[in-house]
Chains A and B, each alone.
Chain A
Amino acid sequence: MFHNPETAINLPQRITVMQGQVYVGTGANEILTTVLGSCIACCLYDPLARVGGMNHFLLAEPSPGSGTVADQNYGIYLMELLINQMMTRGGVKSRMKAHVYGGANMHVGMTRIGDANARFAKNFLAEEKIPILRMDVGGESARRVDFDPVMGRTRCRTVEPVAAPAPKPVVAPQTGGGEVELF
């Protein structure tokens, strides 16, 4: 057999979606991947536009009146960012379907952040009327998620806890959100 360079170049590009990030597929041959502990990754997919994207958030939302900015550490911001970026690529919100992964409670005896995160994702998607096709959350194991944003296929496997990066808040850039520009 001769080596066929055509098959070699058809391998998908693996794109890691880190905590605090959102990535929407470009239509190229890509696999979005991430490793989760107590964090949540939500994968959204519009089957008609064949557009999919993933986010990866640390916490649900700031408590009301705390004065904390709902920045890239929070699901409430990263969910909206994901939906908007999907819409920019031709996705329609009413057609979107969701897969939700993560939300493990990695450390027994500590605050069950994973449960709070999973509850937030479920409530947010219900409020936005986006159906959840698959939800694999909770437990005490880390998970690796792979998502094909063109086909909308996901794979979720449990992995050794050491594979999940320790969750920590992402420091907002100096010129981050909330900037006001009056015309």
Chain B
Amino acid sequence: MSENIHVLTVDDSASMRALLRAALTSRGYNVSQAEDGVAALEWLADNNGGIDVIVTDINMPRMDGFGLIEALREQSRFRDCPILVLSTESSDEKKARARSAGATGWIVKPFDAEKLDSALRRVTH
């Protein structure tokens, strides 16, 4: 059940965060949000890492999605946490970079809430 799944979404666009929050909470997810990689790491440190899955944008100020994935994979408690990239980018080069950094998957924006829901369920079960 998605009621128990806690998602951290990381996106610098306030409008996109609002859209993601609406799409995920209406499907029963517990949603927390951060505006970039630095804020995400701070949130995870403050909340003792209590998260089931992370959905991150790539292009963000301060720390981008690649940097966030690399920083998380260096911490043993996030070594197995699913991390999905949600980006307007779709180049093979960027996907390969995310994969080698340790991302679990890649979703191309504009996102389809049904497909996002299904991907979240797959990676958290």
**Which of A's residues lie within 8 Å of B, judged by CB?**
61, 64-65, 67, 69-72, 74, 76-77, 79-81, 83-84, 87-88, 92-94, 124, 127-128, 176-183
In the complex, chain A residues whose CB is within 8 Å of the CB of B61: 92-94
A76 to B61, CA, bound (A): 19
Residues of B within 8 A of A (CB): 12-16, 19, 22, 26, 59, 61, 87-89, 95, 98-99, 103-116, 118-119, 122-123
Contact B26 A65 (CB under 8 A): yes
A84 and B105 contact, CB distance less than 8 A:
no
Closest partner residue, chain B, to A87 (CB atom) = B59
In the complex, which of the residues B13, B16, B110, B119 contacts A72, with contact meaning CB atoms closer than 8 Å? B110
Q: How many angstroms from the CA of A87 to the CA of B104 in the assembled complex?
A: 25
Q: Can you list 15 A-B pairs, Cβ within 8 angstroms, ordered by A?
A: A64-B26, A65-B22, A69-B110, A79-B13, A79-B15, A80-B109, A84-B59, A84-B89, A93-B61, A124-B15, A127-B15, A128-B15, A177-B108, A181-B106, A182-B122
Residue contact A178 to B103, C-beta cutoff 8 Å: no
Give bound CA distance, A124 to B18, whole Å.
Answer: 11
> Interface centre among A61, A72, A81, A180, by most B CB within 10 Å?
A180
Which residue in chain B gives the minimum CB-CB distance to A63?
A: B22
Interfacial chain B residues near A177, Cβ < 8 Å: 108-112
**Does the CB pair B88–A84 fall under 8 Å?**
yes
Q: Decide yes or no: A176 and B104 within 8 Å by CB, A87-B59, A94-B61 being known contacts.
A: no
A128 touches B22 (CB 8 A): no
Nearest residue in A to B115 (C-beta to C-beta)? A178
A183 touches B19 (CB 8 A): no
Contact of B111 among A61, A79, A127, A178 (CB under 8 A): A178
Q: Per a CB cutoff under 8 Å, which of B89, B107, B110 touches A180?
A: B107
* Known A80-B88, A183-B106; contact A128-B14, beta-carbon cutoff 8 A: yes
CA distance A169 to B9 in the complex (A): 29
Query: Beyond the given A127-B13, A180-B116, A183-B104, could you list 15 further A-B residue pairs with CB under 8 A, ordered by the A residue number?
Result: A61-B15, A64-B26, A65-B26, A67-B113, A76-B15, A76-B19, A80-B13, A83-B59, A84-B87, A88-B59, A128-B13, A179-B115, A180-B105, A180-B115, A183-B99
Known: A69-B110, A76-B19, A81-B88. A182 touches B104 (CB 8 A): yes
- Please give the distance in Å from B53's CB to the nearest CB on chain A: 12
With known contacts A61-B19, A80-B88, A183-B103, A178–B14 Cβ distance under 8 A: no
Is A181 a contact partner of B111 (Cβ separation < 8 A)? no
A residues near B106, Cβ cutoff 8 Å: 180-181, 183
A178 lies within 8 A of B116 (CB): yes
Rounded to whole angstroms, the CA-CA distance of A176 and B114 in the bound complex is 14
**A77 adjacent to B109 (CB under 8 Å):** yes
